[in-house]
A = this chain, B = another copy of it.
């Protein structure tokens, strides 16, 4: 990926390095990527690289942050229709981002990743919290019971695990996965509403 111009603003230069890195992760596991790989693909000097990032770990963290920002922007877009339609739409957007950055997503999120750091863990936790907040907002859950919160967090973990497995195995069509995930949330909320009397628009009557 050639730089569009030798003269970029610092912000655009930084973004360019991040985009180049995410592209490289598609071919090479992040932990095997070298500074030379990045500078060669970005057509910049090592000195320039180190002006933007102290090292590769900071580049990995920035790349994850960039993917996450795109994800949050996409799933937060206001969508019309019923709560169920909105949920389906958000899950589709989520899987779209996941699929677009498949290799980077798998490499950055998989358990035991050598590039996992306190900082990436915090970013990943931030996405989880954001999705739970979004679900609550869209479904109008203002005062969730303890089991409701566990349900929403558990479903987010299901989405995360299922999307990782799906990317690696592609054993079900994407549309089927979306429907299955939405049905799971409805079923899980139904169990919770039967257990503690909570009520939500997504639970089955």
A179 at the interface (CB under 8 A from B): yes
Complex: how many Å from CA A83 to CA B191?
A: 19
- How many copies of this chain are found per oligomer? 2
Say whether B184 contacts A169, CB under 8 Å.
Answer: no
Q: Which residues of B contact A195 (CB under 8 A)?
A: 176, 179-180, 183
Check A154 against B162 for contact (C-beta < 8 Å): yes
Complex partner residue of A112 from B118, B160, B184, B194, CB under 8 angstroms? B118
Say what secondary structure dominates the interface of chain A: helix
CB pair A172–B147 under 8 Å, yes or no, is yes
B153-A154 in contact (CB<8A): no
Please state if A184 and B154 are interface contacts (CB–CB under 8 Å).
yes
Bound complex: CA A149 to CA B171 (Å): 11
The closest CB in chain B to the CB of A118 belongs to B112
With a CB–CB cut-off of 8 A, which chain B residues contact A169? 146
Q: Indicate whether A69 reaches chain B with its CB closer than 8 angstroms.
A: no
Q: Which of A176-205 contact B (CB under 8 A)?
A: 176, 179-180, 183-184, 187-188, 190-192, 194-196
Say which one of A8-16, A20-28, A120-128 lies at the interface with B.
A120-128
Residues of chain B lying within 8 A (CB to CB) of residue A191: 180, 183-184, 187
How far is B147's CA from A183's CA once the two chains are assembled, in angstroms? 12
A window 130-186: CB within 8 A of B: 146-147, 149-151, 153-154, 157-158, 160-162, 165-166, 169, 171-172, 176, 179-180, 183-184
Sample 29 A-B pairs with CB under 8 A, ordered by A number. A111-B121, A112-B122, A112-B125, A114-B118, A116-B116, A146-B169, A146-B172, A149-B165, A150-B161, A150-B162, A150-B165, A150-B166, A151-B184, A153-B165, A154-B157, A154-B158, A154-B162, A154-B184, A157-B157, A157-B158, A157-B160, A172-B196, A183-B191, A184-B188, A184-B191, A187-B188, A187-B190, A187-B191, A188-B188
9 closest Cβ pairs, A-B complex:
A146-B171, A154-B158, A157-B157, A112-B121, A187-B187, A150-B162, A183-B191, A187-B191, A111-B121
